[in-house]
Amino acid sequence: MKNIIKKIIMENHPLWFRVLCHFDDNNYFANGLTIPFLLGASSIINSDEEILSVEEFFLQAIDESLPRKISLQKCVNIGEYVIGIIDKETINYPYGKAITKQFGNICITDNSFLEIIDASELKNILIDESQNLLDSNLYSINRGNWGNYSDVEMSRIKELL
């Protein structure tokens, strides 16, 4: 019953958010997922629909009506910006020092964007970093190279079908 209620609640949220929560709930990542990974998943789950632009994603991600806060940081392992879910430990970290900046629902959890003054600047950086990859159907970075999803990633995305 609990899973059915959770599924109904999640269906009211953007697909990328459902992918993020699914991967987070199943411990499929350490820090988060890249924007191309999150948005490209719709090419598998809803292949009839157009993939969201990074700008559309940003407007959805910043919206405080999402039930969980979003983290944004530069992953040292892959050298790319990743989106995650803010956990209770981060939210309750003394004096909020785990969150360096916040723009609506997006919480910056490292020093990647110290120079950023407003959400518009952040949006433009994310567009510059990710939109060309999406337009080229490059959704996943494996061993330093952008390409399609690995077989494991593909099967994990298909778990949402």
Over residues 9-61, the pLDDT tens digits come to: 457 889 999 999 999 999 999 889 999 999 999 999 998 989 999 999 999 99
Alpha carbon separation from 36 to 4, 51, 52, 102 (Å, rounded): 29, 10, 10, 22
Angle, vertex CA 81, rays to CA 142 and CA 32, nearest 5: 70
> Checking phi first, is residue 31 left (phi over 0); if not, alpha (psi -120 to 50) or beta?
alpha
Give the pLDDT confidence score for residue 89 in this predicted structure. 67
4-13, 46-55, 112-121 — which is least confidently predicted? 4-13
Give the pLDDT confidence score for residue 12 in this predicted structure. 80
Q: Examine the pLDDT at 96 and tell me if it is beyond 60.
A: no
Q: Examine the pLDDT at 5 and tell me if it is beyond 70.
A: no
Give the pLDDT confidence score for residue 122 in this predicted structure. 97
**Residue-averaged pLDDT of the chain:** 89
Q: Closest by alpha carbon to 18, among 48, 3, 44, 38?
A: 38
Annotate 123-136 with b (16+ C-beta within 10 A) or e (fewer): bebbbeebbebbee
At 95, the pLDDT band (50, 70, 90 cuts) reads low
Q: What is the mean pLDDT of residues 55-75?
A: 94
Percent of the chain with pLDDT strictly greater than 90: 74
2-16, 60-74, 103-117 — which is least confidently predicted? 2-16
Structure pTM?
Answer: 0.89
3-state secondary structure of 69: coil
